[in-house]
Structure 1
Amino acid sequence: MSIPVPADGTGPRRLHVVACAHGTDNTQGRRLINELREDLAAVLAADGLHAMVHEAYVDVQEPRLEAVLAALPPDEDAIVAPLLLSEGFHSRVDIADAAAARPCTRVSAPVGPDQRLAAVLAHRLAEAGHQPGDAVVLAAAGTRIEAGQRQAARMAELLAAELGHPVAVAFGSAATPSVTEAVGAARAAGAPRVGVASFLLAPGFFHDRLAEAGADYVSTALLPGVTIAKCVAGRLAEALCAGPADTE
């Protein structure tokens, strides 16, 4: 999808894209998220968008989203791009409130669900040793927000279509079943081997816990790869095509 360039009647207005991640203490996870921002900037430039991509977080790391938005020129457009895979508290509350506090600011949707992510997940599973006949559990971080749970379930459906067999959905926290419960259920149903598809952007706390779920193998996180940046750019395009942000 082509991304429109905002205009004020005399030429392109500068657009600030605030690529906002959760934040992590994991060194590799931090590096991969920074690389994702670099990939996003390259994808946007190739699509003709006159934009500046900024770093921001809702937890663990600095700079925090509120501070980044407050430091932007108040008369210039901004859009927050959540580097999050589904709806949750951070997107519905932290990001939404921060964007609402600044004029000329909107928010794009989270990265998933997306068929392109299913292709990446299938590739990661193959790298981890997935074989025909294995049961697969898609492991999402988890949220109490039902929309986020439905999005994770939809992602499991997309991965099932990619693999050609059913995929169960499970959560690292805040929702059920847990990944351990889903792996146990697959074994109880007679699966000879069980693999976990990590529906997480990068290594960190939740990904580390997947090794304790009792599966035969766990795929690596989605990053690195430019596909994720293309998905984020697609969400930005959808938000920008929806119309201008409020200016009051």
Structure 2
Amino acid sequence: MSELPLLLVAHGSRSDAADAVIRSLAGAVAAQGPRVEICYVDVRGPKVVDAVIALRDSGAHGAVVVPAFLAAGYHVRVDLPAQLAEAGADPARFRTTPSMGPDPLLAAAALDRLRAAGYRDGDAVVLAAAGSSDPSAVAQVRLAAGMLSGRVGRRVRVGFAATGTPTVTDLVEGLRRAGERRVAVASWLLAPGVFQNRLLECGADVVADPLGVHDDVVRAVLDRYTAGVAEIERAA
């Protein structure tokens, strides 16, 4: 395993339970070899600038920066690069990988969570994401729904908990009006919090837990780290 550290960048949440998931995910990844540090683009500290400075102060000359986001919306495309630039991070040495999602590994994790919650073959399935005003991020969520659809063998619709339409609740109600007897909601969220709580109130028969610290989520992070290390080494 490379000596390059992995900088896991999360959004940040006021929920201690959500923060605990990020820390547990970092620990699970670190157990596979790389040094892992955590930072946040918003709400919590340490912020990206502080984390980069701390890494340099510790003697690290670079890092693989992995955005712990399930789609590349504004925070990944704009906030994160701006904060890395503010810290003076050389893009050739502080290599930012694609966001964690969409990824077939995460679709597999979502199905595992769905089955654990009581999903039955034949249930109507909704993939529930936080939502974004960024069309490219929404398109990535729809791509993830396609990945999950291939695993459940029927169409998976996309609903949103915060930004965008249809809302998960409206989608569940519409599926019932269309004659679906059971509706299952797969959570396209990494950790618990306000958005997951909204899913629990959407009226579905089954609501899966967030992806959390699933083995396939850990693998997805490690895959991005490995690819990032290779890019840094090729550029050296």
TM-score strictly above 0.5: yes
Q: Corresponding residue for 2:27?
A: 38
8 A Cα contact 2:9 2:40, kept in partner: yes
Deviations 1:59-87 (A, max 9, x none): 22211112111232277012211111111
TM-score by length of 2: 0.89
Aligned-partner residue type, residue 73 of structure 2: G
* Rounded Cα–Cα distance in structure 2 between residues aligned with 1:245 and 1:19: 22
* Rounded Cα–Cα distance in structure 2 between residues aligned with 1:240 and 1:16: 9
Q: Corresponding residue for 1:85?
A: 70
Q: Corresponding residue for 2:223?
A: 234
Pick closer, same or farther for the CA change 1:227–1:159 going to 2, 3 Å: same
* Rounded Cα–Cα distance in structure 1 between residues aligned with 2:81 and 2:125: 34
8 A Cα contact 1:28 1:203, kept in partner: yes
* Rounded Cα–Cα distance in structure 2 between residues aligned with 1:206 and 1:180: 12
Query: 1:241 offset after TM fit, Å?
Result: 3.1
Q: Corresponding residue for 1:8?
A: none
Aligned-partner residue type, residue 102 of structure 1: A
8 A Cα contact 1:18 1:55, kept in partner: yes
Query: 1:136 offset after TM fit, Å?
Result: 0.8
Deviations 1:57-114 (A, max 9, x none): 1122211112111232277012211111111111111111122331232211111112
* Rounded Cα–Cα distance in structure 1 between residues aligned with 2:225 and 2:136: 19
2:55 to 63, 72, 78: 72
Q: Corresponding residue for 1:62?
A: 45
Pick closer, same or farther for the CA change 1:245–1:73 going to 2, 3 Å: farther
Query: 1:244 offset after TM fit, Å?
Result: 5.5
8 A Cα contact 2:66 2:221, kept in partner: yes
Q: Corresponding residue for 1:132?
A: 121
Gaps of 5+ in 1: 6-13, 46-50
SS at match of 1:73: helix
Map 1:11-160 → 2, pairs under 5 A? 14-43=3-32, 45=33, 51-73=34-56, 76-100=61-85, 101-103=88-90, 104-160=93-149
Gaps of 5+ in 2: none
Deviations 1:110-149 (A, max 9, x none): 1111212222111211121112331110001111112211
Deviations 1:169-218 (A, max 9, x none): 11222222221222122112210111111111111111111122221221
Query: 1:18 offset after TM fit, Å?
Result: 1.0
Aligned-partner residue type, residue 64 of structure 2: I
Q: Which has the higher helix share?
A: 2
Percent of matched pairs sharing the same residue: 36
1:218 equivalent in alignment to 2:201: no
SS at match of 1:72: helix
Aligned-partner residue type, residue 46 of structure 2: P
8 A Cα contact 2:160 2:167, kept in partner: yes
* Rounded Cα–Cα distance in structure 1 between residues aligned with 2:122 and 2:62: 50
TM-score by length of 1: 0.85
SS at match of 1:81: strand
Pick closer, same or farther for the CA change 1:155–1:206 going to 2, 3 Å: same
* Rounded Cα–Cα distance in structure 2 between residues aligned with 1:160 and 1:205: 26
Aligned-partner residue type, residue 212 of structure 2: L
